[in-house]
Structure 1
Amino acid sequence: MSIDTLTTERPSSVPERGAQRRDEGLTGLDLLEAEAIHIIREVVAEFERPVLLFSGGKDSVLVLHLAARAFAPGRIPFPVLHVDTGHNFDEVIRFRDETVERLGLKLEVARVQDYIDDGRLTERPDGTRNVLQTQPLLDAIAAGRHDAVFGGARRDEDKARAKERIISLRDEFGQWDPRNQRPELWSLYNGRHTPGKHVRAFPISNWTELDVWRYIARERIPLPPLYLAHEREVFRRDGMWWAVNEHALPRADEQVERRTVRYRTVGDASCTGAVESDAATVDQVVAEVARSTLTERGATRADDRISEAAMEDRKKNGYF
């Protein structure tokens, strides 16, 4: 199978909003979809300058699809923002640009490399740049005067994300305080904030990885081809298969092999591993995820293995 090809296609049109599928009652996916669309519309109605974090990964693709459905037949009424580490997979960047062009979106890009070049950030000894995204993200939010930032985080991904509300307040420094969480009873979301503060909005908080894949299969949402099984040169490190690329090179004692793998998450290429898989279609991925006992971050993200509180520490500093 070609790595530049995905076996799912985008439907020719978006179904009418609120339309119930013929001969079907409301399913769990329908309810999750309705909740997410409600959240997106509420944020757009309440805030002046929302933006959507869009990396080209499956969760941000899903939120973008839900936003398109929320405002169809009109266009999505806010820009998308990508914090570019410079260590992205080429296939993901191509997909990002193709999606932005297809939907007629405004793309804002904050580049970590710019911060390294001018001395505002320093390259880490381990080579990973995921933890360097925080300052470019906060600066981009301030420059765009964005008072609400949509993201594709889900509660099942990590213990820190499980603590977070759907509408999550950030202080003047973009930081998150897990002790300062507002109640969200009866689907009522409090977005009030003082000047200088902003909120992060998570429309798919209540989705699981399996929900995401089942919905992608149902809606035939296009994704970067890395998510499906393909042959790739990889090497084993820390219990994960790392792709051979300029950002992740094997050490002298690490043997390069050609394996059939796929990616469960497509973050920074210098800290994201693949899993062995023969799931070459979206339906096969759904079946594989249903059997899995590990979250995608726990299975394939080296940056989350630094410590038990790795994600929470980054979130407190302003990371998404």
Structure 2
Amino acid sequence: MTDSAVASYRVSHLDVLESEAVFIFREVVAEFERPVLLFSGGKDSIVMLRLAQKAFSPGRVPFPVLHVDTGHNFPEVLAFRDRRVGELGLQLIVASVPEALAVGSVVEPPDGTRNRIQTPVLLDAVDKHRFDALFGGARRDEEKARAKERVFSFRDEFGQWDPRNQRPELWSLYNARIGVGESIRVFPLSNWTELDVWHYIARERLELPSIYYAHDREVVEREGMWYAVNEFWTARANERPVERRVRYRTVGDASMTAAVLSDADTVDKVIAEIAATRITERGATRGDDRVSEAAMEDRKKEGYF
């Protein structure tokens, strides 16, 4: 075979990642009865939704999408979520933390943040709708606990994750067997990086919520992070809000997610910026991951996605 013939069979790095993810989506639909896609309107879940479209085209995505709504979301992201779900004709299931607070099934933490109390609300939704496989957008490059994950992450009948009780995944062979009440969290983006995600967004021309791009916003610097002043986060007496040009690398709760100083207002500029950074998006912008070295792992053991 000539060199030119060999070259014609080569596929790009993104094509390989896309192919792997599409295979995972199809494998789950073939093996499980009630899968669901976790969809927040963030960049990773937007990429996941595009991959699901490709996996089942020309048919419709054959499962609903689920959002655990803490009530502390950025309004731009919620508006995008609702619009995108409507465009694709998807069934959106909202598991509401405010509703859980109203009936007393969870209690508001003293600091007012709601990230930790998402977990029982998520587990209640899994039980109510009898979901047996949940697609999540977690990637191994995000954080130490994420790096321990399998693509098929086994959860026991309580929805809990035990890193010592995970199944081997040799040659992309996934064990989908579960007992009554057990489930699998599935992470098709496991082998992607933040840079891969943005390259894919550029290639597919995916629309994102506007806060992913540089814009002027009133912020306060706290512990080296820039938090936006909003109804869920207020400045302390000794803190002075200032206007800065910022963007968000990740869009968790507005009560604990910080922005980064940036002039990157296009996809190409964001890619150039990320290529030069050495801090993950969670490490740079998520206050909840600074509670302890094991903050994410502790939450995952409780059932966090």
Counterpart in the other structure of 1:213 = 198
Q: CA RMSD in A?
A: 0.9
Counterpart in the other structure of 1:294 = 279
Deviates more, 1:84-93 or 1:122-131: 122-131
Matches within 5 A, 1:214-233: 214-233=199-218
Counterpart in the other structure of 1:126 = 111
Pair 1:247–1:24, CA change in 2 (3 A) = farther
Matches within 5 A, 1:153-172: 153-172=138-157
Distance 2:228 2:59 in 1: 40
- Identify the match of residue 72 of structure 1 among 50, 53, 57: 57
Q: Is the partner of 2:171 in helix, strand or coil?
A: helix
In structure 2, give the amino acid aligned to 1:85: T
Distance 1:119 1:49 in 2: 28
* 2:182 is aligned with 1:197: yes
Distance 1:164 1:307 in 2: 19
- Identify the match of residue 38 of structure 2 among 48, 53, 58: 53
Counterpart in the other structure of 1:307 = 292
Pair 1:260–1:71, CA change in 2 (3 A) = same
| Structure 2 residues without counterparts, runs of 5 or longer | 1-7
What's the TM-score, normalizing by structure 1? Answer: 0.92
Superposed displacement of residue 24, structure 1:
8.7
Distance 2:134 2:196 in 1: 23
* 2:31 is aligned with 1:36: no
* 2:292 is aligned with 1:279: no
Pair 1:262–1:187, CA change in 2 (3 A) = same
Superposed displacement of residue 25, structure 1:
3.9
Counterpart in the other structure of 1:317 = 302
Distance 2:165 2:110 in 1: 34
Counterpart in the other structure of 2:242 = 257
* 2:173 is aligned with 1:188: yes
What's the TM-score, normalizing by structure 2? Answer: 0.96
Q: Is the partner of 2:116 in helix, strand or coil?
A: helix
Q: Is the partner of 1:299 in helix, strand or coil?
A: helix
* 2:95 is aligned with 1:105: no
In structure 2, give the amino acid aligned to 1:300: T
Distance 2:9 2:78 in 1: 37
Superposed displacement of residue 147, structure 1:
0.5
Residue-pair matches, total: 298
Output one character per residue of 1:238-283: Cα deviation in whole Å (capped at 9) or x when no partner: 2111111000011111111010000000000000000000000011
Output one character per residue of 1:89-113: Cα deviation in whole Å (capped at 9) or x when no partner: 0000000000000000000001101
Distance 1:144 1:138 in 2: 10
Distance 1:238 1:54 in 2: 30
Output one character per residue of 1:118-142: Cα deviation in whole Å (capped at 9) or x when no partner: 2221111212111110001001011
In structure 2, give the amino acid aligned to 1:100: V
- Identify the match of residue 240 of structure 1 among 219, 225, 232: 225
